[in-house]
């Protein structure tokens, strides 16, 4: 039995993106896999009065169980409303790779889906994306496509090298598919190991600095499809403070490098209307759990180690909304 996202309290991304475009900020798209993460997302975005996209990969959907997931997401919106927060919330499928998966998510109450056909040849990507758009738009669900391939690993999305998006293809792709937004590749990548040490330079403190994003490609795309919402995937900053906490408490994250905040801030002021953040959330939770276990090795109550992780995650997300994405106060 299918259910409409409107009955669950979600909105699609159309109005969110047009406001973000006009206002020069980006909507945070936070991935979640468990209750503490979803609580953190709605609490942080409620407190900072930011619109938000809660997103789920196909792997997370399998992990959480699709029925439970739907009710968790619906419960999260209600939790925000009960706390007096009225920010718009979208529920989005991240990296849907088949038509069937997108249909299943639309039928179970998702307000937005991504069909990632970037691993297919161009014409097949166009065909698959257009098919998903045709189905989704019947139910007023928005669709994100992808052009170009991001390096790194995210659940089942594996790519060895980044292939930058070709600006001239964007105009053709948008026209032929009817997508509502487009994920492009300009130098971001998935996971905590976005760049090899060889790709980076070192600053005065000896910290690895990644190669800059290709803003020239982004500007070219903006000229060809003016006003069209662009999405950045793989845009976690891999915050060094949490990498250090993990490594100082038994972890082993070597050469973990992310996208500097100032580059994301610059992107958010452009046609980039949605910035995906997954790895930073994972790092925060792992850092605080490891720290609790190191500080209190006798602890075995999950609330005592997941609770501090949740609190730290809320702090990190509020900071992202206020200082990186510029979405705070825009709900």
Is there a contact between 285 and 41 (Cβ–Cβ < 8 Å)? no
Rg (CA), the chain: 19
Interhelix angle 99-107/122-138, nearest 10 degrees:
20
Quick one: residue 165, left, alpha or beta (phi over 0 = left, psi -120 to 50 = alpha)? Answer: beta
**Which secondary structure element, helix H or strand E, spans residue 275, and what is its range?**
strand 272-277
Nearest to 277 by CA among 261, 296, 298: 261
Q: Which residues are catalytic?
A: 94
Give the residues across from 305 on adjacent strands.
none
Side-chain half-sphere of 262: how many Cα atoms within 13 Å?
Answer: 3
Q: Is the dihedral of CA 144, 168, 235, 81 positive or negative?
A: negative
Rounded to 5 degrees, φ, ψ at 140 are 65, 30
Is there a contact between 238 and 195 (Cβ–Cβ < 8 Å)? no
Strand 52-57 versus strand 151-154 pairing type? unpaired
CB atoms within 10 A of CB 215: 15
Q: Report the alpha-carbon distance of residue 324 to residue 290 in Å, rounded.
A: 26
């Amino acid at each position: 039995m299918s259910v409409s996202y409107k009955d669950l309290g979600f909105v699609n991304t159309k109005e969110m993106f047009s406001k973000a475009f006009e206002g020069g900020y980006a909507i945070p798209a936070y991935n979640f896999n468990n209750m503490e993460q979803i609580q953190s997302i709605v609490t942080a975005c409620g407190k900072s009065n930011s619109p938000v996209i809660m997103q789920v990969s196909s792997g997370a959907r399998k992990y959480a169980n699709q029925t439970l997931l739907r009710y968790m997401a619906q419960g999260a919106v209600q939790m925000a409303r009960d706390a007096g927060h009225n920010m718009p919330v979208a529920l989005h499928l991240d990296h849907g790779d088949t038509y069937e998966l997108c249909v299943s998510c639309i039928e179970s109450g998702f307000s937005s889906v991504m069909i990632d056909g970037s691993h297919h040849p161009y014409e097949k990507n166009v065909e698959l994306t257009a098919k998903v758009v045709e189905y989704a738009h019947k139910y007023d669900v928005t669709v994100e496509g992808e052009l170009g391939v991001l390096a790194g690993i995210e659940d089942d999305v594996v790519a060895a090298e980044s292939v930058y998006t070709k600006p001239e293809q964007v105009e053709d792709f948008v026209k032929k598919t009817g997508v509502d937004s487009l994920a492009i590749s300009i130098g971001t990548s998935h996971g905590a190991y976005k760049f090899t040490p060889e790709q980076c330079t070192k600053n005065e403190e000896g910290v690895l600095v990644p190669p800059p994003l290709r803003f020239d490609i982004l500007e070219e795309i903006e000229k060809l499809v003016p006003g069209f919402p662009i999405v950045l995937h793989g845009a976690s900053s891999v915050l060094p403070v949490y990498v250090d906490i993990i490594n100082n408490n038994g972890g082993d994250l070597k050469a973990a490098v992310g996208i500097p905040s100032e580059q994301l801030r610059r992107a958010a002021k452009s046609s980039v209307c949605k910035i995906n953040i997954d790895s930073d959330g994972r790092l925060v939770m792992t850092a605080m759990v490891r720290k609790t276990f190191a500080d209190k090795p006798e602890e075995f109550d999950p609330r005592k180690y997941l609770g501090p992780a949740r609190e730290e995650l809320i702090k990190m997300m509020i900071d992202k909304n206020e200082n990186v994405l510029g979405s705070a106060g825009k709900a």
